[in-house]
Every structure is written in structure tokens, then in C-alpha cells.
Amino acid sequence: MNNPLTSVRLPLLPVTVVVFIAFLTMGLAMPILPLHVHHTLGMGETMVGVVAGAQFAAALLSRIQAGLLSDTRGAKRSTQVGLLAAALTGIVYYASLLLLQAPVASVVVLIVGRLLIGCAESFIVTGTLTWGVALVGPQNAGKVIAWVGIAMYAAYAVGAPIGVYIYGHYGFWGIAGATVLVPLVAFACALPLAPVAPPTARRAPFYKVIGAVWLPGLGLAFCSVGLGAITAFIALLYSNKGWGGTSLIFTIFGIAFIGARIFFSHLPDKIGGARVALVCVLIEAAGQFLIWQAPAPTIAYVGAALTGFGYSLAFPGFGVEAVRVAPPQSRGMAMGAYVAFLDISLGLAGPLLGIVGHRFSIAAIYLASGVVVFSAAPVAAALLTARSAPSPT
């Protein structure tokens, strides 16, 4: 007798391996970019936020195109395009290093690289999510989102300390070189995998897709601010307070994120995405408030763990609601539109939270992000009410 859990995980395994290798690229640079921009290039907190947010702005602008490519040419093609763009990012990073004597020019070129990696991330995530749903069916959409996310954040957790090691021994030159090579390894792993045929039915208009997924997308946007606060500013918080162990907090966040998905990824499909999201955004908000008030790095570690755990399940929780209402023949576009709300969130969170840090303090960033994350709870409640309401006759 087949184990239903195994019957879902085995088809997804090759796709998640490709995602893991690809996202090592982002994980390597995550703890390094804020320090490089702030210390090496001498830029302030607001520019750190701009550099971080550029990736997500580019992902937003390319997300729908990634969905269209997945729906028309196949999800594998979208994934491969993203991997090649990620490798090209490393070459742009090299170019920025040639301009270190002109910091403004160097940071402009670095932003171009961040825009490129944002496009790469868009095509990889949209492609692999669509690929996964096609392999195991929309009834397992929550598991697809969960396991692709496990691969992503496992890569962040593993990549962050490796990135610190590379930076310590080879500087940002080493990060640039790894950014060229790692996506090419993922591309080689994807080559022998069988593609899935794109849907043949006529695709729904873009406005109908957005109209279907905007409410769960709004919930995703609010709860993703906690992720943005961690990725863009936690290294500066630790540096500002004179704490060590910056890379460890990314690892703790990743372990909590992965643990939640390993043990609880079935819950959104089983009991409803909105119900899971409602509980988990409250956990995530509590983690942000704990980082805000942390008197010692150990307390911030706990806050990062709560943030990772809560966000881990809130993402597929809202995602299940998006897939449930999405037109089947435009599922790639729907996944792209849903994840675009993540891009909007992180694209705005970087510079806006940077302004909060500049005007008040780095710690105050986590008070602001906690309030925004908490705002996702009423959205989840509205989705839960809409789902349980009787259909009109």
C-alpha cells in the first residue's frame, strides 16, 4: 500500500534539490551584502535597505512574465531561465568590485546585480512551484509550497555560514565567484529532469487571476515583512549591539522554518490554509516583538526561531487559499501573482524599515515589522469567514 506522504515527496524530490542548490546562491550573500554595503562601501542604513529591496522589486516586475512562461512554454523552461540569470549575477558582482574606489558607482552596479538576481529568483520559484503542482496535483498544493520552501530556507541556513567563511577568506570576490558557479550546478541537475506539458486550455485574463488571489496575497505581503526585517537588518542589529554570531541567527531561523514544514506541512491541506495562517502570523509577530526587546543575543535567537516557525506555515497557509480560487488553466500565472505579493512586501520593507532604523534605532525596525505582521491576522480571519460562509443558492 502506497504511503500518501511518500507518493508526494518522491516526485517532488528532484525539483526541491534544484531549488536547494539554486538558493544557496542567495544564502551565501544574505549575511554579507549588508556588511559590504555598510562597511566596505560606506553607505547608510537606507541604502542597505535599497540594495536588499532591489531584488524583490525586480522579482515583482518579472513574476507575471515567469508565470506566463510556465503556462506557455513549461515550468522547466522558466526554472532554467532563472538559473542562467542567477549565474550572470555573479559576473555583475565582479563588475561592482572593479569600482570600489568609486563607492557610488559600485553600489549602482551592485543594485543592477540585485535586480538580476531578483528576476532569477522569480523565474526559479514560479517555475518550480508550477512544476511541483503539475507533478502531484492541486490537492497537494500546500505540500508543494511547503517543500519548495524547505529547500529554499535550508539553502539559506546552510549558505549563510558558508558565505561568512568565503567572505572571511576571499572577500566579496569569493561571493561573486560562488554566485557564478552554484546556479550552473543547479542547471546541470535540472537538465535530465522530465518537463511537464503546459496546460492547453485558454488562460484566464490577468485581471481575473489577480482578483482571485489578492486577499491571500495581502496576507502574504503583511507576514513577509518579518522575513524582510531578518534578512536585511539582523546583521546590522548584531553589529550595532556588539553581539557575535550573526550567521547563527540565519541558521536558527532556517532550522525553525524547516522543522515547522517537516512536521506540520500537511496542516494547510488538511484543516485549511486560513486557519493555519491565523495562528502562525501571531507566532511570527511575537518573534518580531521579542527581537525588538532582546537584551541579549540568546533572546534574539528565540525571536528568530518564532519568526521562522510562524512564517514557515503562514506562507503555504495563505498559498492554499490562493490555489483554491485560482483558475486551473492559469495556475502558473496565479502562483506568480500570489508570490508577487511577497515581492511587493520585501521590496517596500527594505527601504521603509531602513528609514525607521535611521530615524529611531535598528531595534525599532522589529517593533514596526511586528505590527505589520500582526496585521495579517485579520486577513486570515476574513479568509476563514469567507471559506466557512454558505454558498449563495
For residue 319, give the amino acid letter.
Answer: G
Look up the pTM and report it: 0.72
State the average pLDDT over residues 200-218.
Answer: 73
Nearest one of 60, 124, 64 to 89, comparing CA atoms = 124
Average pLDDT, the chain: 85
Long-range contacts of 164-169 (CB under 8 A, 24+ apart): 164/31, 164/32, 164/246, 164/247, 166/28, 167/32, 167/35
pLDDT tier for residue 94 given thresholds of 50, 70 and 90 = very high
State the average pLDDT over residues 149-156.
Answer: 82
> Between 295 and 207, whose confidence is greater?
295
pLDDT computed for residue 202 by the predictor: 58
pLDDT computed for residue 195 by the predictor: 80
**Rounded percentage of the chain residues whose pLDDT exceeds 70:** 92
pLDDT computed for residue 308 by the predictor: 92
- Quote the CA–CA distance of 114 and 97 in Å, as a whole number: 14
222-247 tens-digit pLDDT = 999 999 898 878 888 888 888 877 77
- Quote the CA–CA distance of 374 and 176 in Å, as a whole number: 37
State the average pLDDT over residues 197-204.
Answer: 62
Whether 197 has a pLDDT exceeding 80, the answer reads: no
In degrees and rounded to multiples of 5, residue 176 shows phi and psi of -60, -45
pLDDT computed for residue 392 by the predictor: 42
pLDDT computed for residue 207 by the predictor: 63
pLDDT computed for residue 148 by the predictor: 87
As separate numbers, helices (DSSP H) first and strands (DSSP E) second, the chain gives 14, 0
102-150 tens-digit pLDDT = 888 989 999 999 999 999 998 998 889 888 888 887 777 778 888 888 8
255-270 tens-digit pLDDT = 898 888 888 878 887 8
- The structural domains of the chain, with segments of one domain joined by +, span 4-387
Long-range contacts of 350-353 (CB under 8 A, 24+ apart): 350/48, 350/49, 350/50, 350/51, 350/52, 350/53, 350/56, 350/228, 350/232, 351/46, 351/49, 351/50, 351/53, 352/49, 353/49, 353/225, 353/228, 353/229, 353/232, 353/233
pLDDT tier for residue 68 given thresholds of 50, 70 and 90 = confident
CATH 1.20.1260.10 fits 4-387, yes or no: no
204 and 64 Cβ atoms separated by less than 8 Å: no
23-63 tens-digit pLDDT = 998 888 887 888 888 888 888 777 887 887 788 778 778 87
State the average pLDDT over residues 319-342.
Answer: 76
Nearest one of 145, 204, 220, 213 to 328, comparing CA atoms = 204
Whether 331 has a pLDDT exceeding 70, the answer reads: no
pLDDT computed for residue 1 by the predictor: 44
